[in-house]
Structure 1
Amino acid sequence: MTARAGPGLLALSPSVLADRPEATLQDMAATLEPDAVWVLGPSRDARAFARARRAFDVPVVHPPLESGDGPLSTLAVDTTGRTLEVAFAPDARALQRDPETAAKELTASKPCALVCDDVTTSVRPTALETTLEYADALASALPRGRVSTVLTGGEPAGYDELWHLEPATGAVRAVDHDPLVGSDSTDDEAVSIRVRGAGSVESYGKSTGVALVTLDGDGDGVERTDTHDVTDFGLEAVSGIGPKTAARLADRGIQTRADVLETSMATLADLPGVGRDRARTFHQHATVLETGEPRRLTDESLPGENWSTPPLCLDIETDGLSPTIIWQVGVYDPVTDEYRAFVERTDPTDPAPVLEAFCDWLFGIHPNRALLTWNGWRFDYRHLGAFIAKHVPYYAEEWEAIPTFDLYLWAVGNDNALLPGRTNALEDVASALDYEGAGTGLDGARTAAAYQRFVRTGEPLEWDRHEAYCEDDCRALWHVYEHLRDAPQADSTAETTASDRSSTSSVGLTDAAESDSSGRRREPTSGETKNSTERTEQTGLGDF
């Protein structure tokens, strides 16, 4: 939600660079603000390399095209106050040809990561084993006794495994499939390589193709990897505009969201398959993305908006998506600007104390306050309800009576607002609304993995950092709430003429409120929402 803790290396597949217009790439550059761009291999693609150099005003590398006196080249990736070295190998065979020189260069430059795109894994189902391609080349070039990070476009972003290899042969000694949870010790006699992917992620018929790797000079070389779908940028970021519609718009000279706003609705509506309703949606969402300001599409009140006391903002941390413990409950009170954290630091085998302390506080001090989450109908409320019923059952009935609201469900699931984030994740939405957080560098997966390690080894977490992450989410939630509360509402009776639209930059702000499917939302299924029990003057709001 704030500036990255370390330099950002943007990994792009050649297909993304080849298939999208330059305006989309420029929007990607402006949105993600990378410090360097890595065009993925292992195949050479000079055209993709050239397009990246045109679109991004930062260093661009394409390892298969790199040539020099040795097997490696290095790049100093700079960000505010910090410079990190990254080593690039044109291919793994370069390491095999001259392993001694590669080892000397890696020792001299001490890069935070080695990029080698043809490092991949392959599975032999009959033998029930996975092999690491070019393990022998890596083992000959990388030092033993410490963990080296290898980045590869040959594995999808999110791939993260720690391989322990024999120095001489590259034979596999062991593999930690989850390095954040697995062995924390290194074998002084082994070459330990943390292989992390940055390639395209295929899911639901889409391919991300875009990965932003935040480098880390103090840890294992990589702080985090964030993936994006290419449709989060350019014209396709606008609700209802897909590749075909974007191509038809481009044929009319409409290549950016600003071009959309300068084009009359009549012109847009005349395009094949568009029509007036979709044209209105184009204008509405393009306005939101260009201005960075959300827009309310209906006159539905926000959850708790008309109550005398605002809801409490809630976030929980668990040890995974199928949790055995809720180890942190964070609550932010916007009335007093105070944050309260309930954290299990001593006995991770007993889920009851944190839940009991949270319930004691909530029901004892704030029995008439509602709770507010972001996407809580999918996670926070579901798990809190189950854990309270099991571990502190004497509070179960009172918990079921607490009004619980979900701002994500109100805005996205129920089509009450358009949000300025490139995705509807809380972090993206809050960042688009200029929320400045603590910059912890954490996410839900990292906090869960850290607690799993605590459960397994007893090694304490950086408690203050993890509490700050949970507090960030709670405060960001209220930040978004305030912006939605103050956002302009659509006038369902207003109609704006084409001539009016061409003469004002605030196109779409007075259109009738209609929305088109953006492919980003998922409606709650039966049982995934929790009815709110109204108390005192809490009337006039729809239940979630």
Structure 2
Amino acid sequence: MTARAGVRLLALPPSALANRPIATLEDLDRTLKPDAVWVLGPAREPQAFARARSAFDAPAFHPPLETGGSEPVHRRVIADSDGTELEIAVAQSLRALRSAPEAASSALGDGNDRSALVCDDVTTTVRPTALETRLEGAETLASALPAGTVTSVLTGSEPAEYDELWHLEPETGAVRGVDHELRAEVGPLDEDCVSVRVRGAGPVEGYGRSRSIAVLTLSADGVERVETHDVTDFGLEAVSGIGPKTAERLAERGVTTRTELLETPLETLAALPNVGRDGARTMHEHARVLETGEPRRRTDESLPGEDWHEPPLCVDIETDGLSPTIIWQIGVYDPVADTYRAFVERDDPTDPGSVLEAFCDWLLGMHPNRALLTWNGWGFDYRHLGAFIAKHVPYYADEWESIPKFDLYLWAVKNDNALLPGRTNKLEAVADALGYEDAATGLDGAATAAAYQRFMRTGAELEWDRHEAYCEDDCRALWHVYERLREATTPSESSFEGGSVPSRTDPSGSASSAASSRTSASGSGATDSGSRGTATQRDASSDTDSEQTGLSDF
């Protein structure tokens, strides 16, 4: 989903550029729409840099090759599509910065004009014997950067999720402290301290160094958001059934784009090793879904709850982590009334029961016959709700278990009932590809969890409206995806290139067995009074500036 306003900086390791067809890079450019492309160092990679400059419409830079005239550190202006400009400072290397520390101060500016500094060989090393982590280049940074303020340093030598604030002694670089859990508004220890917020942009675990890429959304306040992607989510390899080897074989036949794939006969694709006719048909189907942005139902299986009298309620939860101690927000969108309710614990994070009780009071009292709908609920939302209700409001446990529960992710992806146009199967990617316009909160599940952890630890208030809007966005995005899938053509309505895919029935894609015989009745849109642990209501016409995302956005 759309992040808050800011410029988008695409960080590419040279390995993600090497041996990728230009068509893949152009697809990446069209999809992610970067305002600038950063080819990561610290090694000099002129061929990768040239490839980025050729493939992307946005301007590209590669710090080891940046000269800025005679200065080892210089400013670079990045402009977004609306013409908003942001300046960053780019250093060739720590060595260059060490030779002319005054260049950094000049390039960074001061006060409200301060820029982030890009320096690819800023990194950390762990010394197991000393049980400590060392910031490489700390002395150089301490001598080049101003004291009494926080300077953001962006580096490709740390993974994209890295975000820590190092407090250094001026000149010597001795470490005075490190803040590991941060929010946007952070400050130095004091006026005599050089505070460096190190933000990673490099490859992350799970993709491999040759495939991981990141997009950083920057504003005048720093890094607003970091998204990670797999380069194989773009180009031909984004198509189901096409891996690197199949992509190479297709390239040998002159097929490098999804359009060319669709023009390739099924028989030709089926003849490729380990493909076959079913695999070839899936390639065609998914390529068309990605090209058109229209989902495709692969079976005649009904959507979860589609045949019920009343649509399900869309549910999303926010917790304090992946192994939660509290469910502090439960959001529910009712597509019948087009209303949203947020059950939020704002006052006492040591009391997990009040939000659960308020939620169950409302659900069982006002909508006893409605089913629930989630995205990956069996992997997160339902699992934790069931455990927490059983522990903290056990008198509602049996009724909770009897409520029909549907999981749209399970039905579409795991049970293979649909092909989706998102580059990943995360809710935000799917909803965005299907045209959902979010509230642009700039949040994700990790950010909401971290914010609540701080609230639990320090009492620091969250931007409650923003975090509620984030959860609401997930609920409304879920229903948007549901509706688009409901409108999609089924195999019985239209065959695809030589035959339709047979219907596959899987009971696990339906409601829980305990609830499958229940019928739904009309629910009311009653309004609850609001205080701690109670619900708030918004109608569809309410206008909010807030933003959203969640840990359950699988």
Normalising by structure 1, we get a TM-score of 0.91
Amino acid at match of 1:368: N
Aligned match of 1:15: 15
Aligned match of 1:103: 105
- Residues 82-127 of structure 1: per-residue CA shift (max 9 Å, x gap): 3211111000111110112322331259444111000111111011
Normalising by structure 2, we get a TM-score of 0.89
Distance in structure 1 (CA, Å) of the matches to 2:376 and 2:176? 42
Cα displacement (A) at 1:537: 3.3
Amino acid at match of 1:355: L
Question: In structure 2, do the counterparts of structure 1 residues 222 and 182 end up closer, same or farther at CA, with 3 Å as the change threshold?
Answer: closer
Aligned match of 1:49: 49
CA RMSD of aligned residues (A): 2.3
Question: In structure 2, do the counterparts of structure 1 residues 31 and 524 end up closer, same or farther at CA, with 3 Å as the change threshold?
Answer: farther
Tell me, yes or no, if the aligned pair for 2:402 and 2:515 is still in contact at 8 Å: yes
Aligned match of 1:188: 191
Distance in structure 2 (CA, Å) of the matches to 1:256 and 1:355? 50
Equivalent residue for 2:86, pick from 84, 87, 102? 84
Distance in structure 2 (CA, Å) of the matches to 1:290 and 1:513? 23
Question: In structure 2, do the counterparts of structure 1 residues 513 and 253 end up closer, same or farther at CA, with 3 Å as the change threshold?
Answer: farther
1:293-372 aligned at under 5 Å gives the runs 293-372=294-373
Distance in structure 1 (CA, Å) of the matches to 2:513 and 2:107? 62
Cα displacement (A) at 1:201: 1.5
Three-state SS of the structure 2 residue aligned to 1:202 is: coil
Does residue 1:64 correspond to 2:67, yes or no? no
Structure 1's unaligned 5+ residue stretches are 498-509, 516-522, 539-544
Cα displacement (A) at 1:492: 9.9
Aligned match of 2:548: none
Tell me, yes or no, if the aligned pair for 1:342 and 1:354 is still in contact at 8 Å: yes
Aligned match of 2:408: 407
Cα displacement (A) at 1:9: 0.1
Amino acid at match of 1:13: P
Aligned match of 2:200: 197
- Residues 23-56 of structure 1: per-residue CA shift (max 9 Å, x gap): 0000000000000000000011111111101111
Does residue 1:165 correspond to 2:154, yes or no? no
Distance in structure 1 (CA, Å) of the matches to 2:419 and 2:264? 20
Tell me, yes or no, if the aligned pair for 1:182 and 1:453 is still in contact at 8 Å: no
Equivalent residue for 2:146, pick from 118, 125, 143? 143
- Residues 413-454 of structure 1: per-residue CA shift (max 9 Å, x gap): 111111100000000000000100100000011111111111
Tell me, yes or no, if the aligned pair for 2:207 and 2:230 is still in contact at 8 Å: no
Aligned match of 1:175: 178
Three-state SS of the structure 1 residue aligned to 2:109 is: helix
Structure 2's unaligned 5+ residue stretches are 521-554
Aligned match of 2:515: 533
Distance in structure 1 (CA, Å) of the matches to 2:281 and 2:392? 51
Question: In structure 2, do the counterparts of structure 1 residues 393 and 112 end up closer, same or farther at CA, with 3 Å as the change threshold?
Answer: farther
Question: In structure 2, do the counterparts of structure 1 residues 449 and 263 end up closer, same or farther at CA, with 3 Å as the change threshold?
Answer: same
Cα displacement (A) at 1:177: 2.0
Question: In structure 2, do the counterparts of structure 1 residues 407 and 495 end up closer, same or farther at CA, with 3 Å as the change threshold?
Answer: closer
Distance in structure 2 (CA, Å) of the matches to 1:532 and 1:373? 18
Cα displacement (A) at 1:209: 2.3
Three-state SS of the structure 1 residue aligned to 2:64 is: helix
Aligned match of 2:551: none
Distance in structure 2 (CA, Å) of the matches to 1:524 and 1:228? 33
Cα displacement (A) at 1:72: 0.9
Aligned match of 1:542: none
Cα displacement (A) at 1:206: 7.1
Distance in structure 2 (CA, Å) of the matches to 1:14 and 1:29? 16
Tell me, yes or no, if the aligned pair for 1:368 and 1:535 is still in contact at 8 Å: no
Question: In structure 2, do the counterparts of structure 1 residues 142 and 513 end up closer, same or farther at CA, with 3 Å as the change threshold?
Answer: farther
Amino acid at match of 2:148: G
- Residues 205-250 of structure 1: per-residue CA shift (max 9 Å, x gap): 67542100011213xx101110100110000000010011001101
Tell me, yes or no, if the aligned pair for 1:181 and 1:453 is still in contact at 8 Å: no
Three-state SS of the structure 2 residue aligned to 1:9 is: strand
- Residues 451-510 of structure 1: per-residue CA shift (max 9 Å, x gap): 11111221211111111000000000000000011111124995735xxxxxxxxxxxx6
Tell me, yes or no, if the aligned pair for 1:328 and 1:344 is still in contact at 8 Å: yes
- Residues 321-376 of structure 1: per-residue CA shift (max 9 Å, x gap): 11111111100000000000011111111111111111110000000000100011
Aligned match of 2:24: 24
Distance in structure 2 (CA, Å) of the matches to 1:47 and 1:282? 32
Tell me, yes or no, if the aligned pair for 2:39 and 2:62 is still in contact at 8 Å: yes
Question: In structure 2, do the counterparts of structure 1 residues 208 and 248 end up closer, same or farther at CA, with 3 Å as the change threshold?
Answer: closer
Between the two proteins, the alignment pairs up a number of residues equal to: 515
Aligned match of 1:34: 34
Cα displacement (A) at 1:130: 0.6
Aligned match of 2:524: none
Tell me, yes or no, if the aligned pair for 1:112 and 1:216 is still in contact at 8 Å: no
Distance in structure 2 (CA, Å) of the matches to 1:63 and 1:513? 53
Cα displacement (A) at 1:181: 10
Amino acid at match of 1:165: L
Tell me, yes or no, if the aligned pair for 1:70 and 1:102 is still in contact at 8 Å: no
- Residues 38-84 of structure 1: per-residue CA shift (max 9 Å, x gap): 00000111111111011111111001001122221221111225321
Tell me, yes or no, if the aligned pair for 1:87 and 1:111 is still in contact at 8 Å: no
Distance in structure 2 (CA, Å) of the matches to 1:436 and 1:24? 26
Tell me, yes or no, if the aligned pair for 2:16 and 2:211 is still in contact at 8 Å: no
Three-state SS of the structure 1 residue aligned to 2:342 is: strand
Distance in structure 2 (CA, Å) of the matches to 1:266 and 1:232? 25
Aligned match of 1:541: none
Distance in structure 1 (CA, Å) of the matches to 2:494 and 2:65? 58
Tell me, yes or no, if the aligned pair for 2:300 and 2:503 is still in contact at 8 Å: no
Tell me, yes or no, if the aligned pair for 1:377 and 1:530 is still in contact at 8 Å: no
Distance in structure 2 (CA, Å) of the matches to 1:236 and 1:26? 13
Distance in structure 1 (CA, Å) of the matches to 2:169 and 2:293? 53
Question: In structure 2, do the counterparts of structure 1 residues 288 and 514 end up closer, same or farther at CA, with 3 Å as the change threshold?
Answer: farther
Aligned match of 1:512: 501
Distance in structure 2 (CA, Å) of the matches to 1:212 and 1:493? 39
Distance in structure 1 (CA, Å) of the matches to 2:328 and 2:83? 35
Sequence identity (%): 68
Amino acid at match of 2:463: E
